[in-house]
Chains A and B, each alone.
Chain A
Amino acid sequence: MRMSKIVRTGANLLYPFVLIFGLYVIMHGHLTPGGGFQGGAVVATGVALVIVAYSFEEVTSMIKKVGMKARESIGLLLFIGAGVAALAAGAPFFSNILANSGLLFGQTVPAGPNPGDLNTAGVIPIMNVAVGIEVWGGLAIIVLYMLSSIPEEGS
């Protein structure tokens, strides 16, 4: 069952902004409040908005279940991979090998209050992105599965 044209237009308008805000919360998880779980939940809220506004057939043509399943699996694999990469480098499991290394996300942080730099924190941004992708796919696929069990009325 699809909602009225007002709701659909509003959902179309808000969807990219919700997505961008959620991805911002994920990417700046090591600088601002939030992180992978919270940002992923925000992105999944945008997906849920589109699912509420459109009928099931239209949603499954726009948002693929396979894509959401792939996001969830890739996110978890990337998260575990970031932990195993530390083992490969000779450090304990899940240790932050990229912090203060000068490589990707490897700049040092001065002590005390400072505005912060995106290029810091080592593997933490990578894990944030991994968890964000996983929560995005996981919550979206849960909503899609629950919607698929509701019988369609008037179609």
Chain B
Amino acid sequence: MKRGLSAVIFIVLAAGLCAIPAFLTFGEPAESGMDQYFIGNGQAQAATNNIVTSVVFDYRGFDTLGESVILFAAVIGVGLMFRSMREEEEHEDE
């Protein structure tokens, strides 16, 4: 019963995922005005030749902060996982 239900849910979700491209035209975002704004004003506002970097670090700087914090959290997680495996090395250099 449970297996059949999960199979049905999986099929419905997979079919929905496959049906999405039929309703969207590829390469045409719904809102392209923002792109033209970045390309037109990036050099004057952010004083950067690299528009991608000006978007990542200036216009969308808050998202980059989230990315950095995610990396920090990943390192903390790896440290927690592998800490107990070799205790003597941990205390040796701290």
Counting contact residues on chain B (CB < 8 A from A), the size range is 35 or more
- Kindly provide the distance from the CB of B71 to the nearest chain A CB, expressed in whole angstroms: 5
Of A30, A37, A80, which contacts B49 at CB under 8 A?
A30
Task: Let me know if B30 is at the binding interface, CB within 8 A.
Answer: no
Task: Let me know if A94 is at the binding interface, CB within 8 A.
Answer: yes
Q: Quick check: which of A11-19, A47-55, A115-123 contacts chain B, the rest being far away?
A: A115-123
> Which residues of B does A touch, CB under 8 Å?
43-50, 52-54, 56-58, 61-62, 64-65, 67-69, 71-72, 74-75, 78-79, 81-83, 85-86, 89, 92-94
> Which residues of A does B touch, CB under 8 Å?
29-33, 35-37, 56, 60, 64-66, 72, 75-76, 79-80, 83, 93-94, 96, 99-100, 106-112, 114, 116, 120-124, 127-128, 131, 134-135, 138, 141-142, 145-146, 148-149
Q: Is the CB of B82 within 8 A of A138?
A: no
